[in-house]
Each structure stands twice: as structure tokens, then as C-alpha cells.
């Protein structure tokens, strides 16, 4: 698995492994199998949050299990570790006030048995807190060495631009990575996101990121298995012609449809108006092997243009 040098200095694998369900619906044994397989393939970017998966447990499970695995394997120096702060977890933790950020970063460090986080995300925007307070709090974590780089997830584009303008005007650390939903399928215009800022990335957002030379970590990039089983298609996505096309093209290339989606996402920066995209997904070890074939699937400029035009 090739590595990408991001503008913020992090050297990461082309795809990121999601650890959302580790410790809840994914057992310790299965989580270790996935993590080991991912690392054996050359992956190094692992994504979690301080509230995963609170709907199935306390919200501590994923970070705690990652900490156990990092300790058991002694591989912290080979992992780019990403986690987040800002979303609710059983009525606590929501928000990006200084005291919340400072409290939850220490909780994440404790659970993951590490003294630094490579990429720390604001999990969602907090319009009730001044941007100055949020960005100053994040910057203090960087100056203390608790965090290396910053990212923003579930932000409106204009709010992220304002946050970075605030940071740069005050000599603070800006956000350098965006995490937002993106897949090959088009979103339905008449379906609202589950959360206020939980939008699927549109072309305006992608042009913004391209202009700012900022990578996108695309979560839910494989539509919960819908490319293999259209019955699983989330209601916020359109199926139709694009889904039929990607499934047929995948069959022609001898890979599963999810692998072709990964090939698409990791190559669309070659097209005008698209940033570098790092697909983020959860999987079993067997799915990981199949999906990673997308990283070896060649797409010509003509094929990329055709895929974009459907």
C-alpha cells in the first residue's frame, strides 16, 4: 500500500481504516485480525473518535481497544492515529469549548495509551462557541505536543474557511484535513442528513478543498456494502444508472464494486476540481483484501472522465 505525503507533513496510506465498532459490534479478536491485516498490507492511518460507538455502548470502547492493540503490538510509532472530539455521548461531551477539548483529549490519550495524537479532528461544528476559543484550545494542544495536526469533520465549507482565517490571523494552527462523507453515488437532494452538518460532499466543497490543497478523508465511502448488495443502499443516496455502471465496470475489471469505488476515490485528484481523497471504511479482514484490490486497479484518464460523466 503506497503512502501519500500530505501538505501537513503526515505520511499516510492511501486508504484509512475505520475503528468505529471496535469493542461493540466488532469483537476484540475480530478487531485485532482487521488491524493486523491492515498493517501487514502497509496501511498506517487508523481513525476513531472519543464517542465510538456510544449508541452501542459507553463511547469508550473503540479508543480503549485501539490502546490495547497498540500496546500489545508495540507499533505506536508505525501508526498515524486519528481521533475526534465534539459530538455527544450519552448527554455529555458535545461542543468545542476550551474546557471540553482539554478534558477529552486527555481522556483519549489515556484510553489509547499514547502521549500524542497524530491527527485530531473537531468531530462537528459548534456554532455556540466562538471560533477564537476553539482554535486557541486546539492550538494549545499542538504547542504542548499532545496533538501533531488538526482536522475538521462535519463542517460547512464556509465555517471551516472562517475557522482557518481566524486561526491564521492569530498565528494559530489551522485545520489541514477535512473529513466528510463522499462516495461514487450521488446524494438525494430531498433527504436531509441525520445531523445538521453531516452533509455528503458536493462539488463546491471538493473545489474548495482542491483550491486549498487540503485532502478529504471520505467516511462512509462504501455506502455500507450497497455496491455489492443494492438492498443495503442508504436512503440518502441515489442508485440507478451510476450504481448499475460501477457494478458492470467492476465485473469487466474482475474486482468487486467496492474495490472499484476505492480506485475511483484514490484517483479522482487527477481530474479537474477534485482534491486528494483518502477513503475511510470499516471492514472484515476478508473484505479488506477484496477492497484493497482497488489500489492496484488502473484507471486511464478516459475511464476516469467516463466515470465522472455518468
C-alpha cell at 49: 473518535
- Catalytic, out of 38, 52, 227, 237: 52
Distance of alpha carbon 21 from its chain centroid, rounded? Answer: 14
SS3 281: strand
Distance CA 175, CA 122 (A): 9
Q: How many CA atoms lie within 13 A of 157 on its CB side?
A: 16
Cα first-last separation, the chain: 29
Task: Establish whether 52 is a catalytic residue.
Answer: yes
Contact 66, 46 (CB under 8 A): yes
SS3 158: helix
Choose among 182, 116, 119, 117: nearest CA to 154.
Answer: 182
Distance CA 6, CA 8 (A): 5
The alpha carbon dihedral of 47, 49, 52, 58 has a sign of positive
Q: Which residues are catalytic?
A: 52
Amino acid at each position: 500500500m503506497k503512502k501519500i505525503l500530505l501538505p501537513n507533513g503526515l505520511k499516510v496510506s492511501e486508504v484509512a481504516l475505520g475503528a468505529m465498532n471496535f469493542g461493540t459490534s466488532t469483537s476484540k479478536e475480530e478487531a485485532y485480525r482487521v488491524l493486523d491485516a491492515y498493517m501487514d498490507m502497509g496501511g498506517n492511518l487508523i481513525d476513531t473518535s472519543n464517542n465510538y460507538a456510544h449508541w452501542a455502548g459507553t463511547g469508550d470502547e473503540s479508543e480503549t481497544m485501539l490502546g490495547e492493540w497498540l500496546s500489545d503490538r508495540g507499533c505506536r510509532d508505525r501508526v498515524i492515529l486519528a481521533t475526534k472530539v465534539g459530538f455527544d455521548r450519552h448527554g455529555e461531551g458535545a461542543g468545542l469549548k476550551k474546557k471540553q477539548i482539554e478534558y477529552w483529549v486527555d481522556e483519549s490519550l489515556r484510553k489509547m495509551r499514547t502521549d500524542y495524537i497524530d491527527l485530531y479532528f473537531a468531530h462537528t461544528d459548534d456554532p455556540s462557541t466562538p471560533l477564537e476559543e476553539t482554535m486557541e484550545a486546539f492550538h494549545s494542544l499542538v504547542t504542548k505536543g499532545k496533538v501533531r495536526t488538526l482536522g475538521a469533520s462535519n463542517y460547512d465549507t464556509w465555517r471551516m474557511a472562517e475557522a482557518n482565517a481566524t486561526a491564521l490571523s492569530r498565528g494559530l494552527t489551522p485545520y489541514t484535513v477535512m473529513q466528510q462523507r463522499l462516495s461514487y453515488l450521488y446524494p438525494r437532494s430531498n433527504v436531509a442528513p441525520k445531523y445538521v452538518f453531516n452533509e455528503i460532499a458536493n462539488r463546491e466543497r471538493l473545489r474548495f478543498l482542491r483550491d486549498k490543497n487540503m485532502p478529504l478523508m471520505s467516511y462512509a465511502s462504501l455506502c455500507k456494502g450497497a455496491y455489492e448488495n443494492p438492498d443495503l443502499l442508504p436512503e440518502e443516496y441515489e442508485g440507478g444508472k451510476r450504481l448499475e455502471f460501477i457494478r458492470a465496470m467492476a465485473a469487466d475489471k474482475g474486482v468487486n464494486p467496492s474495490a472499484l469505488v476505492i480506485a475511483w476515490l484514490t484517483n479522482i485528484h487527477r481530474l479537474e476540481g477534485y482534491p486528494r481523497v483518502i477513503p475511510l471504511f470499516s471492514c472484515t479482514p476478508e473484505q479488506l483484501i477484496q477492497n484493497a484490490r482497488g489500489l492496484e486497479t488502473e484507471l486511464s484518464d478516459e475511464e476516469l472522465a467516463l466515470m465522472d460523466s455518468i
